[in-house]
Amino acid sequence: MTAEIYQQPSIIIKPIAKHNGIFLCFSGVLLLFITFLSAQYFWQMYRISYIFMILLSLVIILIGVVKLFEPAVSLYLTPSKIIFNHRYGHWQLTWQDIQNINLVSEVVGLQREELPYVGLRLVHIDRIAKNISVRLANRLIHQQKGLIVYSVLHQLMTIEQAQINFEPFYLPNGEVIKGPIAAFLHQTEQLSRALGYHLFLPADSFDRGIEEFVSLLKQCKTASATYQDN
């Protein structure tokens, strides 16, 4: 991540996914300690219950550790760009690269279902090709499986379209993208056709209500035009 981020005034967004990490680790360790201490006296009588409590303690500790490994800041919103920060890497875009920002939703029958994501529709898909790290692209291919499954179940995408595509991706200028970024771009293209957005920000990656966050992003995009003029 370049030092340019810090040379502009920024709005820093912290992920709710990181909350309570230390508490969960402490609680899991404490529960594990109490379980082992008690098991010394009653193991034969309550062996199955103790095994369950040990497994539960380890799960709680694991969840806490995962939370602690989440980045302290998930998004930087500057006057010129938006930067998404993930423990596997980051992507960044200028506000002019983004065509539309909104809640991800779909009409099912007579009702509208809102998904726990904020969607970003890009002006051109090639804007993200050079602005995402390889590790993050590879991670998002798998992390977005929930959206893929949802699209298939609601017949917004065929099973064939849902498959990971490792073929080279051709940009409009003729440049060829290969590897994980190419696979990510193919998936991004399919999701944009199914749900109307290229990028998806999960609700646990920001520190406020999803509608409030959408409003904030829209305000930043509008304000960026004034910043660029100046």
Are 89 and 141 within 8 A, CB to CB?
no
As a whole-number percent, the residues of the chain with pLDDT over 70 amount to 92
* Confidence category of residue 185, pLDDT binned at 50, 70, 90: very high
Going by pLDDT thresholds of 50, 70 and 90, the confidence category of residue 44 is confident
pTM comes to 0.78
Q: How far is residue 86's CA from residue 70's CA, in Å, rounded to a whole number?
A: 7
